[in-house]
Amino acid sequence: MNLKMDAIKDLENEHPIASHWRPIIQLAVDAFSRGDFGLSTPIENIQPVPVDIALANKSYVADYGEVLISLPEETWETSCAQWMGDYWQIIVDLYTEDEGRSDLVLNGRVMEKDGNISIEIGLIYVP
Domain around 102? 22-125
Determine, yes or no, domain membership for 28.
yes
Total-model pTM: 0.92
Residue-level pLDDT at 80: 97
pLDDT, residue 5, reads 58
pLDDT tens sequence across 30-62: 999 999 999 999 999 999 999 999 999 999 999
What pLDDT is attached to residue 6? 81
- pLDDT greater than 70 at residue 4: no
Q: Is 13 within a domain? A: no
In a domain, 12, yes or no: no
Residue 71 within any structural domain of the chain: yes
pLDDT of residue 116: 87
How large is the average pLDDT for residues 57-83?
Answer: 97
Q: How many structural domains does the chain have?
A: 1
- CB-based contacts of 114, cutoff 8 Å, min separation 6: none
Q: What is the rounded average pLDDT of the residues 6-34?
A: 95
Burial class (CB in 10 A: 0-12, 13-18, 19+), 15: middle
Answer whether residue 72 is part of any domain.
yes
**Would you place residue 1 in the very low, low, confident or very high pLDDT band (cuts 50, 70, 90)?**
very low
Mean pLDDT value of segment 4-15? 85
Residue 98 has pLDDT above 90, yes or no: yes
37 within 8 A of 54, measured Cβ to Cβ: yes
Answer whether residue 9 is part of any domain: no
Q: Residue 4: inside a domain, yes or no?
A: no
In a domain, 7, yes or no: no
Residue/partner pairs of 73-81 with CB below 8 Å, 24 or more apart: 74/101, 75/101, 76/16, 76/17, 76/19, 76/22, 77/16, 79/16, 79/17, 80/14, 80/15, 80/16, 80/17, 81/7, 81/8, 81/14, 81/15, 81/16, 81/17, 81/18, 81/21, 81/110
